[in-house]
Structure 1
Amino acid sequence: MRLETLDGYGTRGPETQSPTAIKGLGDSSVGSPLQQQQDLNLSPLLSVLEKSAHTTAGLRFVSERNGGLAAERLTYASLWSRAQNDACSLISLRLAQPTRGSSNVLLYFNTNSDNIRWFWAVLAAGGVPCIAPPFVSDARLRRDHIAHLIHLLENPTILTTEALSSVFEDDVNASIQTIESLPVETELTFKAPAPPTDDGLAVLMLTSGSTGNAKAVCLNHEQMLQAAAGKSAHSKTNSKDVFLNWIGLDHVANLVEIHLHAMSLGAEQVHVQASHLLADPLLFPRLINQHRVSVTFAPNFFLDLVVSQTLEKDPELHNPAQLDLSSLRALFSGGETNVVKTAVELTRIFQAYGTKTEFICPGYGLTESCAGLTWGFNCPSYDVKSGSEFTSAGAPIPGGFVRVVNHDGIQVPPGEIGDLQLSGPVIFKKYYRNPEATKEAFTQDGWFITGDQARIDSNGQLHIVGRVKDTINMNGVKYFCSEVETAIEQIKLPGVAPSCTVVFPHRPQGASTEEYCIVYKPTEDDVTGESRAYIDDNISRISSVITNKKPFRIIPLPESSFYRSSLGKLSRAKFRKAFEAGDFQEADESNRSSIHAFRMANRDAPSNPAEESALNLACDMLGLQAEEVSVTDNIFHLGFSSLDINAFACRLQKALGSKNAITLTEVLRNPTIRSICTDIDDSKHPDESYDPVVVLQPNGDKTPFWIVHPASGNVLVFIPLSRYLSDRPVYGLRARGVRLGERFFGSVDEMATTYFHGIKRTQPEGPYAIAGYSLGSSVAFEVAKLLIANGDEVRFVGALDSPPDIAPLVGNLTWSAALVMVSFFLGLIPERYSNEVIPRLWNEAPDVALEFIMSNAEPARLEELQLDRTGLSRIADIAHNFGMAARKYEPVGSVPTMDVFVVDPLLSVTEGGRKEWHDKFLYKWKDFVTQDLKFHQSSGSHADMLGPKHVRVFQRILQDILVARGL
């Protein structure tokens, strides 16, 4: 979009005054007699405007003109003059309507220039402004909302334009006053309004509602000025800064964070409509460049839009000489949790265009706290160093205090999650005409209850975890909706619009626990059953990684359903309300019908009794309709979790009458009903059918990712990780011996050679990406050397928290000690308990050790894993055999590059923490890498780094590395 400056733009001196009545924004003329008033007894906010009028600074409003965008300027002096002139017109109107009792004025405009103009006019006239957000398009919801506002604000004057006034015409109680029909007052002389009452009420800000349930937050003069001063002190802003805003004035991110903040400093401010930036996100850096913006605000969803557009794709801006972002030093971001990956990428892009430092300042605030109460200034480096997925929200501004408490109201130690509460002079005191809500909002000792969950780290930085109400409580376990949304957004599914995925809880009638629903905006109108089925399968797969359960509903909705607040937020509560009211029923039924028709037309039906029995069993366990499911469907895509697979394998063995146990390995290696049934052949010796390759995730066109098993020999631990890597095939390499009757490997070299041939059969050509978890890292290193010796290109070799020399760690383990170690990894016994038990059982006979573990293990965990003595004994056999092979292993040779992932070490190895683990053990990989060795900090410990709690952090780091390695 073309951006230009009007002739004469850029002059910062006072504007010439004339006695003309009210004009449009571009005409700076106001009634000159009003400028003669001296020694006015002004309210605190009006005093700020009057003081700023003595500077040469002002406001620039960017708007459409002649097919492009242009900026018009209004000095603070002119704004102050206009406010006095407009106030006289409003006072004249009130004198003509003496029966009106309420001083509340509801402002409804669609531009920042009109909202700012009339906000100050109402204050100057002694009224209380309340700025209405844009109303929703749904006529019923809009009528309910307007009726609620008229009742809440005690029949206020509704100040709007003729063009916008029609939205109020259905309400007979609406007292509408258009600005075009205001009297042009030339006789009245402006007099300062009466001083504020004891509570100092200045403005009413609406919160939590565009559908009839809004509350009005009472913001007083001193609170708002304290907030502006605190923000300035915290961020070191001054009169030389230029502030850029694109949020509506109905949100405190504009009113206080930008508008009053800048005005209190006598600093320049630029306003542009949100619609312009949302239509063209790259207008954002253009405006920063043209207006030399140093301070601005944008929520995470918009930053993600800028990143996804990327300046590199714009031919006009590709050359840094065309775009200078060196003026930008503070981009405040709030309203939703910021994603570290987005912050890293935006910082990289903007720094290429001259931004000299870290400029993204994530924060936390509410309407009740006058926007940002906390801000951080070392993003994203602080969060990258800690391995976080979401950024911290910084520390409080002067005048704000935060605490995190447990359910009993007791403050929790650093690092623990609890309920976030706020206090200080920048916090509001009450909701307007709602004593019940006010009482519920505060603790007995006066702290405001935010409804958010958070933690404060050891450095005093606030981390928002999620909203208490925005959780899914399934079978007593809580999952945050934002976690599921972020996971889906990060995979960037084709056909799903970015930043338009919403997750919300739902309790079906008669259900024993909550479920959850997902709605998204498709990018194409002309869709097929195949494309909808693809999206449905992938959203289901990603979300079930986090929740261990498929969504209750996945529904595509049109753009009109995605109503955003002035800050660009989508309300989960409103989507849930609409869903439960039946508003999405037609879209839901249409989508499911389309997917059903596609699946029926492309279904592979069972061809024999075994396939039919297995299919019916799977559908029975998952609650699916058998006629929709193919025997060639990947059973993990149907919704099975790793725990479901255990039960499925055991029940399938009984259903088919197989003599040999159907192990998880068989199911993983043959993840369709047809392949499972084909592979079951009791007449074959297990060694004949052994194949080390296990397909964990078959889809995607990127380079396949290979990963070698830990000491247990199995690849089950990689299932959660494989579901995140949706854009590339993922293959696990499992040990021989996992299945009963298979021979164990005699050495690490034999293992590596076998895996090398398995890889070449599956992926004949490189480049290759291979990693190993725990002791499997050494095997991956050996396989990489074999591939390189074969003339293949290996771009990625990963060691997941294991050093090169493994013999000292496991080479001397007895069978019983190996049993205790794997029992800890399986979650049967705690880590410290395992370290105490190992010496006691070191030389005990296998039966004695087995009995001890089986007696002390949690029965529920044994049942969950479908483990009996025989199964657990087999896992110990494999681990002990690995230890015997490791005893004879000595690493030699090298690879060009390696990425080593660092987490908290096993206590049995060192109690010195990560630093000692890195310095004394992992750093030794330097002797086996010739070119590029990198270490990556991840979250969790050695045993759970790939578990549900930490796998999201790990996969994010891994995916970034794979891209950086050209994969």
Structure 2
Amino acid sequence: MAPVAVTPVAPTDIIHDLKASLATERASQTSPETLLDVLAQAAAQYSNHELGFITSSAHDSSIQTKTFSQFNEYARSLAQAMLAWGKPAGSVIVVYLTEHEDNMAAVWACLLAGYVPCLQPALSAQQAHKEGHVAHIKGLFSSATWLTSESGAEQVNSIAGLDIHLLSDLKASAETSSADFKAHEAKPDDEAILFLTSGSTGFSKAVVHTHRTILAACHAKGESYGLTSESKIMNWVGFDHVAGSLEMHIAPLLYGASQLHVHASAILSDPLRFLRLIEEKSIELAFAPNFLLAKLTRDLEKRTDLFGSFDLSSIKRINSGGEAVVSSTAQAFASTLKNLAKDGNASFVISAGFGMTETCAGCVYDPIDVLATPPAHEFLELGAPIAGCEMRIVNPEDGVSPRPDGESGELQVRGPMVFVRYYSNPEATAASFVEGGWYRTGDVGIVENGKMRLSGRIKDTVIVHGVSYGIPELETYLQTVEGVTHSFLAAAPYRAPGQETEGFVVFYSPTFELDTEDAPAKLFATHRALRDISVKLITLPPQQIIPIPINQMEKTTLGKLSRARLVNLFKQGELAKHIARAEELISVARGATFVAPSTETEKTLAAIYAGIFNLSVSDMSAGDNFFELGGTSIDVIRLKREGEASFELPEIPTIQILKHPVISSLAKYVDSLVSKDATTEEYDPIVPLQLTGNKTPIFMVHPGVGEVLIFVNLAKYFQNERPFYALRARGFEPGHPFFGSMDEMVSCYAAAVKRTQAHGPYAIAGYSYGGVVAFEVAKRLEAMGEEVKFTGLINIPPHIADRMHEIDWTGGMLNLSYFLGLVTKQDANDLAPSLRPWTRKEQLEVVWKLSPPERLVELQLTPEKLDHWVDIAGSLIECGKDYNPGGSVSVVDVFYAIPLRGSKEDWLNKQLKPWAEFSRGEPAYTDVPGQHYTLMDFDHVPGFQKIFRSRLEARGL
């Protein structure tokens, strides 16, 4: 036999063969044809890998877990129970839930039972819009089967014709399921999951994704992220969003990766939790949109006490999407993480991505170490498409002519992950595609050297902090303003250089001439109304309002204003003369009431005001009101700090700034402090936070800490609509004793309300502890023969005595410290048992050492002031210990958020529903965003004010 020739194998060939072998093995393990195969494969091959969940009601980082195998059995039992509904295969089930695990289980149960889940995001708080949307969905699917929670059912049970099923009932039925359940057999091109668009241009469209489109996307995402069965991902995006369900759940599940799903409120209320979880769970992949990057940076960059504290070595990549990522924000975030990391040489990859509901979330990515490779543009590049996806830039006019490299145009994508159609909407489907299967994204982009970046939007939306708002809806309301020529108004998205989030510009033609004597006053009133409506609808004012003569406002042949043309004219400076004319006229209008600051104190305060609001000192009038200029609670602290430094005063009490927001008034008060002529003022609980508007005033009672600064950010949304008064507890000022009983407090507050507003109808509300006080004030006013049309009770049950008895001095001190942002929720919970044996002074010293120095400076706190504040809060607790509600008011509106303890559903049903016993009319229970201590903060107050306003209007106010 001839000898066998052996060819030497180079090491590189061995490595190549090994990689090829691993790739083949990996492909064989991850080639399911339907989503049901994905779940079955995960349960079989990675049975002990885990799905972890932190719920909205979790007050620490406690994680509820299920192995893939356990979750599979759980979903199958729910599916078997679902079949008892008797729905035909292919029926659409609207899934309306809030917790990740509930949504996840419901979606898989639908798929296993042969149903098509449609994920419903949070419904509008406005009843008319909510009813219209639900009716639209019902008509779209020719059915109305909803799977929801008790609180979800509460929101839709007033709408006729819905077939509502409770998840709690389904779970109970599933406990008796048998083991012989046979799952539905799906085909790759069957409808799998429906996702609703934002409805920014009308009612929502339902995006149809099949098993094939979702799997194509998830395969490509996993390859892009480098997912393996050993990967660990963390997600906090809601499951109703394609990023939360497809990108951060199904894609990792396809590769066997363990997952941690955290309710958004847990991250937003405690940003440090984001880092703790990365460290504790060795997270490799996480998601953080631009607004969260900015928030985390703001909250953590000054925490020098935590520098070098976290092991962040596991994190390989942080995806970011939802809105454009500002390069400077990404760099600041990465720098902050580097400072906080134990490894001072750590690097952090931020991967900005582009994607839409129609593309199964992200389909274009650019992972980059922003510190090692400084970005070349204001916004991070979005990079190159994932495997199987293609992109191109074309002329937006014809939708097909390619644009040269480096030139902007309409972004189009195509590939197997692009949706197949809009449900029952062939017209919208046809309009979304051009020849060759290219999907028209509606975005303006630039492709250069194979990498894409966005430069604007064609679609009718503006994205503020990751939330899309409809331009057409905004325009509809702006058109109603007196002074605006109907159909000659356009609002267009615009982001100024260096701006963190997207904004917008309003172009319109006035109904009046700009050269008449009354033009300044009319223009001032028109622009003020346009700003007010904008703030109420989408939480921020226009960056610019530009009046353009009607003969210079060109319309298309279809009779529409071209937003793109107007924005281009604005960017090119072609509208500068109109902007200058508007500023001139508004300056004249302000001049009609302008009073130049005359005293040195007024001039100094004018300079401080100008610095805070980025205005010219020469434009400041002695009659300018701090809050009407846009002052927030943070701005109040800045005014206090700068005023004390300028006038060399040990303190300007915050309450005096709230009571004297006008420059001339505050100057007189400061002069009295400087001359030491200030006398102890007689206590008045009323603090006017804004006095403009003709609608019924709102009186808002303080929470259990007694202070009212927390309402400043809410009050500004009522400018030029209704006065907003807050009631502050007694005891903050020297010589003012604490309240001794609930009756004394209520009598004082009721009398103060009557002094401020002589007769009804009244609108009274209270936050937390203040809710029961507001209820008693409303009762007292009704006993005087007055009408109270609104009694708002914000996240407080009627029976509080037991809770008051539970709070000792230590608990009260820690509650106050958490409320003030001195300690985290976890610290407050962890410290209580160990601090109780210590002396009061020792306990305060511990909290003082834990408190962020910059927060202490912001609040101008001293140990003595904190000690006194704890006593004020303690006095209010004492007033509540003997409180037992009785009697009734005409009607109550209960607003509920995530409670301090327990689930939201138990909080609503067991603690808050008893308010019905004390209301002669039908109570309203309204879900609001946030947790108990966060629902009034910057992240949640924009949403809360809309909901709160809608309830006032529903009560005829």
Q: 2:208 aligns with which of 380, 397, 406?
A: 397
Kept in 2, the 8 Å contact 1:542–1:724? The answer is no
CA–CA separation in structure 2 for the residues paired with 1:626 and 1:589 = 19
2:667 aligns with 677
- Counterpart code for 1:784: A
Mapping of residues 363-402 of structure 1, within 5 Å? 385=155, 393=204, 395-397=206-208, 401=213
CA–CA separation in structure 2 for the residues paired with 1:548 and 1:421 = 24
SS at match of 2:798: coil
- The alpha-carbon distance between structure 1 residues 383 and 888, as it changes in their structure 2 partners (threshold 3 A), is closer
Kept in 1, the 8 Å contact 2:697–2:723? The answer is yes
Q: Per-residue CA shift, 1:824-872, capped at 9, x if unaligned?
A: 2233333233222222223433332333223223344444444443444
1:664 aligns with 654
- The alpha-carbon distance between structure 1 residues 519 and 866, as it changes in their structure 2 partners (threshold 3 A), is farther
SS at match of 2:796: coil
CA–CA separation in structure 2 for the residues paired with 1:764 and 1:792 = 10
- The alpha-carbon distance between structure 1 residues 897 and 506, as it changes in their structure 2 partners (threshold 3 A), is closer
Q: Does 1:623 align with 2:434?
A: no
SS at match of 1:792: coil
CA–CA separation in structure 2 for the residues paired with 1:935 and 1:525 = 45
2:247 aligns with 411
- Counterpart code for 1:594: L
Q: 2:643 aligns with which of 638, 648, 652?
A: 652
TM-score by length of structure 1 reads: 0.54
Q: Does 1:897 align with 2:674?
A: no
CA–CA separation in structure 2 for the residues paired with 1:852 and 1:545 = 42
- The alpha-carbon distance between structure 1 residues 624 and 958, as it changes in their structure 2 partners (threshold 3 A), is same
2:686 aligns with 693
Kept in 2, the 8 Å contact 1:541–1:637? The answer is no
CA–CA separation in structure 2 for the residues paired with 1:845 and 1:581 = 67
CA–CA separation in structure 1 for the residues paired with 2:473 and 2:576 = 25
1:856 aligns with 850
Q: Does 1:781 align with 2:749?
A: no
- Counterpart code for 1:344: A
2:705 aligns with 712
1:358 aligns with 135
- The alpha-carbon distance between structure 1 residues 713 and 443, as it changes in their structure 2 partners (threshold 3 A), is farther
**Percent of counterpart pairs with the same letter?**
29
- Counterpart code for 2:708: V
CA–CA separation in structure 2 for the residues paired with 1:633 and 1:716 = 20
- The alpha-carbon distance between structure 1 residues 398 and 580, as it changes in their structure 2 partners (threshold 3 A), is closer
- The alpha-carbon distance between structure 1 residues 616 and 722, as it changes in their structure 2 partners (threshold 3 A), is same
1:805 aligns with 799
2:714 aligns with 721
The Cα of 1:504 is off from its aligned counterpart by 3.3
- Counterpart code for 1:495: G
2:930 aligns with 940
Paired residues in the alignment total 595
CA–CA separation in structure 1 for the residues paired with 2:836 and 2:440 = 53
Kept in 1, the 8 Å contact 2:462–2:493? The answer is yes
The Cα of 1:705 is off from its aligned counterpart by 1.0
CA–CA separation in structure 2 for the residues paired with 1:439 and 1:765 = 59
Kept in 2, the 8 Å contact 1:769–1:794? The answer is yes
SS at match of 1:758: helix
Mapping of residues 466-505 of structure 1, within 5 Å? 478=465, 482=469, 493-496=481-484, 500=489, 502-505=491-494
TM-score by length of structure 2 reads: 0.54
- The alpha-carbon distance between structure 1 residues 944 and 828, as it changes in their structure 2 partners (threshold 3 A), is same
2:356 aligns with 420
The Cα of 1:568 is off from its aligned counterpart by 9.4
Kept in 2, the 8 Å contact 1:718–1:946? The answer is yes
Q: 1:954 aligns with which of 940, 944, 952?
A: 944
Mapping of residues 121-136 of structure 1, within 5 Å? none
- Counterpart code for 1:420: M
2:731 aligns with 737
CA–CA separation in structure 2 for the residues paired with 1:612 and 1:954 = 37
- The alpha-carbon distance between structure 1 residues 797 and 956, as it changes in their structure 2 partners (threshold 3 A), is same
Q: Per-residue CA shift, 1:402-426, capped at 9, x if unaligned?
A: 67989959812488875425359xx
Q: Per-residue CA shift, 1:886-934, capped at 9, x if unaligned?
A: 123222222121111111111xxx32x1111122211222232233322
Kept in 2, the 8 Å contact 1:362–1:379? The answer is no
- The alpha-carbon distance between structure 1 residues 645 and 481, as it changes in their structure 2 partners (threshold 3 A), is farther
Mapping of residues 502-513 of structure 1, within 5 Å? 502-507=491-496
- The alpha-carbon distance between structure 1 residues 548 and 847, as it changes in their structure 2 partners (threshold 3 A), is farther
Kept in 2, the 8 Å contact 1:375–1:397? The answer is no
CA–CA separation in structure 1 for the residues paired with 2:936 and 2:543 = 26
Q: Per-residue CA shift, 1:458-495, capped at 9, x if unaligned?
A: xxxxxxxx97999999xxx9465738996797686543
1:839 aligns with 833
CA–CA separation in structure 2 for the residues paired with 1:569 and 1:950 = 35
CA–CA separation in structure 2 for the residues paired with 1:360 and 1:560 = 42
Q: Per-residue CA shift, 1:65-104, capped at 9, x if unaligned?
A: xxxxxxxxxxxxxxxxxxxxxxxxxxxxxxxxxxxxxxxx
Mapping of residues 84-95 of structure 1, within 5 Å? none
**Larger relative contact order (CA 8 Å, sep ≥ 6):** 2
1:524 aligns with 511
Kept in 2, the 8 Å contact 1:700–1:729? The answer is yes
SS at match of 1:412: helix
Mapping of residues 59-138 of structure 1, within 5 Å? none
CA–CA separation in structure 1 for the residues paired with 2:536 and 2:848 = 29
- Counterpart code for 2:135: E
2:128 aligns with 344
- The alpha-carbon distance between structure 1 residues 484 and 861, as it changes in their structure 2 partners (threshold 3 A), is farther
The Cα of 1:377 is off from its aligned counterpart by 7.3
- The alpha-carbon distance between structure 1 residues 763 and 378, as it changes in their structure 2 partners (threshold 3 A), is farther
CA–CA separation in structure 2 for the residues paired with 1:700 and 1:786 = 26
Bigger Cα Rg: 1
The Cα of 1:874 is off from its aligned counterpart by 4.0
Kept in 1, the 8 Å contact 2:705–2:872? The answer is yes
CA–CA separation in structure 1 for the residues paired with 2:511 and 2:826 = 54
The Cα of 1:564 is off from its aligned counterpart by 7.6
SS at match of 2:612: helix
Kept in 1, the 8 Å contact 2:686–2:753? The answer is yes
Structure 2 unmatched runs, 5+: 1-88, 93-120, 158-195, 226-242, 250-260, 265-288, 290-320, 322-354, 361-388, 395-399, 419-437, 444-455
Q: Does 1:752 align with 2:746?
A: yes
Kept in 2, the 8 Å contact 1:774–1:801? The answer is yes
Kept in 2, the 8 Å contact 1:771–1:800? The answer is yes
Mapping of residues 286-365 of structure 1, within 5 Å? 340=124, 344=128, 358-359=135-136
Q: Does 1:434 align with 2:423?
A: no
SS at match of 2:573: coil
SS at match of 1:606: coil
Q: Does 1:931 align with 2:921?
A: yes
CA–CA separation in structure 1 for the residues paired with 2:495 and 2:726 = 36
CA–CA separation in structure 2 for the residues paired with 1:444 and 1:342 = 38
SS at match of 1:754: helix
1:790 aligns with 784
Kept in 1, the 8 Å contact 2:123–2:130? The answer is no
- Counterpart code for 1:904: I
Q: Does 1:882 align with 2:818?
A: no
SS at match of 2:469: helix
CA–CA separation in structure 2 for the residues paired with 1:519 and 1:576 = 10
CA–CA separation in structure 2 for the residues paired with 1:625 and 1:836 = 49
Mapping of residues 531-610 of structure 1, within 5 Å? 531-537=522-528, 552-558=543-549, 574-610=565-601
The Cα of 1:570 is off from its aligned counterpart by 7.1
Q: How large is the RMSD of aligned CA atoms in angstroms?
A: 4.7
2:172 aligns with none
- The alpha-carbon distance between structure 1 residues 929 and 859, as it changes in their structure 2 partners (threshold 3 A), is same
1:371 aligns with none
1:334 aligns with none
